[in-house]
Chain A
């Protein structure tokens, strides 16, 4: 039946879009970055230089790689206790109750707030608080950015962890209870070991989200094109340097920025792939 043929053909063609898109993205990024790599070689990746003055232009990605990695990992560290306790609340202590449903919805709301709103709120509401503590004079820097980033990735870590924890078979928990274990003991001796890989995967995926965050970080990290010197020092991430400087860039500088983009793409894809791999092996 030709109706069938047309439909099947259409469906197949649309699947090609993904193929072409993916290939196109990789090709364009590589092509755009070519100039920078030709000029600086692979040294580009480890060089912390960023000097746009005409005549002695030199670019390197290291400052931004450092900024991205530090803020993302710090954000993950801050996020872990929050996500961990919230997922235990939802999937263990108050499982099935209305309270846990409400908490879950509230946490999902966190995921719905646009990045720029987070950045803006961080700028006007969080920064003054941090300045008041005296730890930082302006409030911009790695710590502020990581703090807001942590809040942003909590919903991702929580929802996946909660799901994994709730899948631990009831009979294992019952066996532990029947031996006289308290609830906390059951959690640490049975639930967590059982759910361990899933929980780790959820944190890795949250890390993947943090790596690519742009607006909130741009507004809070201080935009200094150097490797951050301390926890409260300013810096820049791969995503934020692109957001800041792409608009006015051209020639070699633009190629350098695209090269940074390529590196960000690779790092994010790797981390996400790792997370998905762990989940597949576990489930």
Chain B
């Protein structure tokens, strides 16, 4: 982990362009800073590029073969395109929209999946410690400590999602990216996850894509509004919601388009 004096911004996005096919840009000239130990929400209507932008931050967008990227993103000053993608993904973790614990692994194995997938050997007591810490951090420990060696499919949607968060933070990443993490969950599970995110920001930096602006208003410190691939406006959540500077932002926030 970092021992150097830490800057206020963990991630700097500089003039980023991402195109799925030549000429059609999903992300256009976006520049932004993600503040450390804060929750930053990225909002916007369907197709505005928010998921693409999020995935750019851990280079998951490169899974598409014809993708074109221009501009840069730096993590603690270092360009993410110049470091090994494996190292990047250890420092920037991701939680997905639909809970996706690995069905062929037990709960225990799921939490340390990052280590086993990366061929990192740990002693048993190291592993046990990581599993317990991660599960405690997501408030799942008491619920599953008796069933660590069962496959996770019996867990409810909300519990599975918390397991996925545990899996992502087992590495102790700097940043946690969340792509609409509660849209597949019921309201009770959603509020539990939202509470969890509020606790997690003490240790990690969170970037959250959400299509639910009230969620953004509830839990985020900073907000970014995207429309048609462009970053229209960004700033502290309270300010953005009460006094949006751009008319498009205002139209979105008042429900003129969804």
| Chain A directly contacts chain B within the complex, with at least one CB pair under 8 Å | yes
**A→B interface (CB under 8 Å):** 97, 169, 171-172, 174-182, 185-186, 189-190, 193-194
Does B188 make an interface contact (CB < 8 A)? no
Report yes or no: B60 in contact with A179, Cβ–Cβ below 8 A: no
Residue of B nearest to A178 (CB): B94
Which B residues, 48 to 107, have Cβ-Cβ distances below 8 Å to chain A? Answer: 58, 60, 63, 65, 85-90, 93-94, 96, 98, 100, 102-104
A65 to chain B minimum Cβ distance, whole angstroms, is 37
Q: Are the CB atoms of B100 and A179 closer together than 8 Å? A: no
Selected A-B contacts with CB under 8 Å, 8 pairs:
A97-B65, A171-B100, A178-B89, A180-B86, A180-B87, A180-B118, A182-B86, A186-B117
B contact residues vs A (CB 8 Å cutoff): 58, 60, 63, 65, 85-90, 93-94, 96, 98, 100, 102-104, 113-114, 116-119, 164, 167-168, 171
Closest Cβ neighbor of B89 among chain A residues? A180
Question: What residues on B are CB-neighbors of A175 within 8 Å?
Answer: 94, 96, 100, 102, 164, 167
Contact B102 A190 (CB under 8 A): yes
Which residue in chain A gives the minimum CB-CB distance to B90?
A: A180
Which residues of the other chain, B, contact A179 by a CB distance below 8 angstroms?
89, 93, 113-114, 117-118, 167-168, 171
Question: Do B93 and A172 have beta carbons less than 8 Å apart?
Answer: no
Cross-chain contact B63 with A194 (CB below 8 angstroms): no
Question: Shortest distance in angstroms between A170's beta carbon and chain B's nearest beta carbon?
Answer: 9
Q: Which residues of B contact A189 (CB under 8 A)?
A: 102, 116-117
Closest 8 CB pairs of A and B: A180-B89, A178-B94, A193-B104, A179-B114, A181-B117, A180-B86, A171-B100, A175-B100
Least CB distance from B33 to A in Å reads 23
Cα–Cα distance between A178 and B54 once the two chains are bound (Å):
12
In angstroms, Cα B103 to Cα A193, docked, is 9
Task: Give Cα distance in the complex from A179 to B169, angstroms.
Answer: 10
* A177→B171 CA distance, assembly (Å): 14
Closest residue of chain B to A97 (Cβ to Cβ) is B65
Return chain A residues, CB-CB under 8 Å to B168: 178-179
Please give 14 more A-B residue pairs, beta carbons under 8 A apart, in addition to A171-B100, A179-B168, A189-B116.
A169-B100, A171-B96, A175-B94, A175-B164, A177-B60, A178-B168, A179-B89, A179-B93, A179-B167, A180-B85, A180-B86, A180-B117, A185-B118, A186-B117
Residues on the A chain within 8 Å of B86, using CB: 180-182
Residues A177 and B63 in contact, CB atoms below 8 Å apart: yes
Contact A178 B102 (CB under 8 A): no
Which residue from chain A places its CB closest to the CB of B87 in the assembled complex? A180
| Complex contact A194–B104 (CB within 8 A) | yes
Chain B residue contacts of A172, Cβ below 8 A: 100, 102-103
* Closest residue on chain B to residue A179 by CB atoms: B114
Give the chain A neighbours of B90 by CB distance below 8 A.
180
Of the residues B87, B89, B103, B164, contact of A177 by C-beta under 8 Å: B89
Least distance between B256 CB and chain A CB atoms (Å): 33
Q: Which residue of B lies closest to A170 (CB)?
A: B63
Q: Nearest A residue to B120 by beta-carbon distance?
A: A180
Best-buried of A97, A178, A193 by chain B (most CB within 10 Å): A178
Smallest CB separation, B211 vs chain A (Å): 18
Contact of B60 among A174, A181, A194 (CB under 8 A): A174
CA distance A189 to B89 in the complex (A): 17
Query: Which residue on chain B has the smallest CB distance to residue A171?
Result: B100
Cα-based distance from A44 to B60 in the complex (angstroms): 63
Q: How far is the CB of B130 from chain A (nearest CB, A)?
A: 13
Could you tell me the distance between the alpha carbons of A169 and B96 in the complex, rounded to whole angstroms? 13
Residues of A within 8 A of B94 (CB): 175, 178
A190 — which chain B residues lie within 8 A by C-beta? Answer: 102, 104
Give chain A residues whose Cβ lies under 8 Å from the Cβ of B100: 169, 171-172, 174-175
Instruction: State A190–B117 Cα separation when bound (angstroms).
Output: 10
Contact indicator A178/B103 (Cβ below 8 Å): no
Instruction: Compute how far the CA of A194 lies from the CA of B60 in the bound complex, rounded to whole angstroms.
Output: 21
Contact B63 A174 (CB under 8 A): yes
Q: Complex: how many Å from CA A247 to CA B160?
A: 66
Q: In the complex, A182→B104 CA distance in Å?
A: 19
